[in-house]
Amino acid sequence: MERPVLWIHAEAMGQANPALLAHPGRPAVFVFEPGLLGAAAEPISLKRIVFLYECLLELPVTIRQGHGAEEVLAFAERHHADGVVTSAWVDPQLGDIAACVAAALPLQVLEPEPFVNLPEPVDLRRFSRYWRSAGARRLPDSAKPGDPS
């Protein structure tokens, strides 16, 4: 791919996003899905939506609302992209979006550097549960001044 767009999703919203690192300066998009905003069986809280939005304001990304694959593909078309680059995910909803994108354009999925190595599966539904497990085990290079511990 010579002219990719970057699809940034909620599982990799930092400066260390591998798509942003691999393709600095390329157009990037984040899509607030209807499921995130209340249409899903387990919608996320308003506090989490605000947190996501504040994180996005620190990234070079265009923010859209709508159906993920449609918005990513429309963004790619507007930028005359020859593919889409994103980072790996766990959420099956993101996998569904990725499959739709990959059916229309080449999709490159990059693995992020691990933040932490956990010996057991983690409940990702609540950040506080995750952080209790992950915070004490985070890798030394991921510790930054001001990070919660």
CATH number at residue 30: 3.40.50.620
Task: Find the DSSP H helices in 1-67.
Answer: 18-22, 46-56
Q: Residue 5: beta bridge partners?
A: 84
Shared-domain flag, residues 109 and 130: no
Q: What's the number of domains the chain is made of?
A: 2
Shared-domain flag, residues 96 and 42: yes
Shared-domain flag, residues 45 and 102: yes
pLDDT band at 1 (very low <50, low <70, confident <90, very high): confident
pLDDT 10s digits, 4-56: 999 999 888 888 899 999 999 999 999 998 765 554 556 677 888 888 899 99
Give which of 14, 48, 47 is closest to 30, Cα–Cα.
14
pLDDT band at 146 (very low <50, low <70, confident <90, very high): very low
Shared-domain flag, residues 44 and 89: yes
Instruction: Say how many Å lie between the first and final Cα of the chain, rounded.
Output: 39
Domain coverage including residue 48: 4-113
Shared-domain flag, residues 119 and 108: no
Shared-domain flag, residues 98 and 45: yes
pLDDT 10s digits, 75-112: 999 999 999 999 998 888 889 999 999 999 999 999 88
